[in-house]
Structure 1
Amino acid sequence: MSKKWKVKNHAATTPPPRQRRSRWLTLALIAVAAAAAISIGIWLVQRSQPAPLTTGAAPGEAASSPVDGPRLALDQDLFDYGDVKLNSTIETEINVKNIGDEVLALAESPRVELVEGC
């Protein structure tokens, strides 16, 4: 009695081990590069955003302890205008007070952040 064994030709269906390793290495390098690019992008976005203004006191109140240097206090730090039509002009008056012990200098055009859709 003789048995017939079927032998599959694996050489035709799978690449040699060296090619398989180079594919994994290429995929790993792409994944590391993508993770690095995402990390750098997040860092750049966070770096470009200014630090929030904090006075240490409630709006409209002066700080209870003396402060070294200039210190900004606003009577209101959040303005909600409700639904506003596109291309509408809104004017707001903001009262600024220096509660520090040195001169406070403001930029000619201070940066104002507009948050849409909230």
Structure 2
Amino acid sequence: MSKIKGKAPNYRKTQHQKNKISMILAIGGIAIVMIALLFAIQKKPASFTPEVTGNPSIKVDKELVDLGDVKLGQPVQVAFEIKNIGDKPLKFTKPPYIELKEGC
């Protein structure tokens, strides 16, 4: 009889540990699925209706920039927003041509 009583607490302890591990795995699995769903929902691309079909087309937010009077040697910085408004990939095969005019 004493052997049976000695094994019962160990069996319960082992069963409790198995249940605990199963619960942790279940909660972890649910958390992983929820995180994956969050990323899937957030990464939906915005709807895009091309202005040009069949070709790429470039649109620049500003073609001309007037920086006013700039002293010689003074660095200036200008940013342009360039968009492809066509439905095909826009590829630059050469560096873009930029013309600087003095005294305009």
Alignment TM-score, normalising by the size of structure 2 = 0.46
TM-score normalised to the size of structure 1?
Answer: 0.41
Structure whose residues are more often helix by fraction: 2
Q: Which has the larger radius of gyration?
A: 2
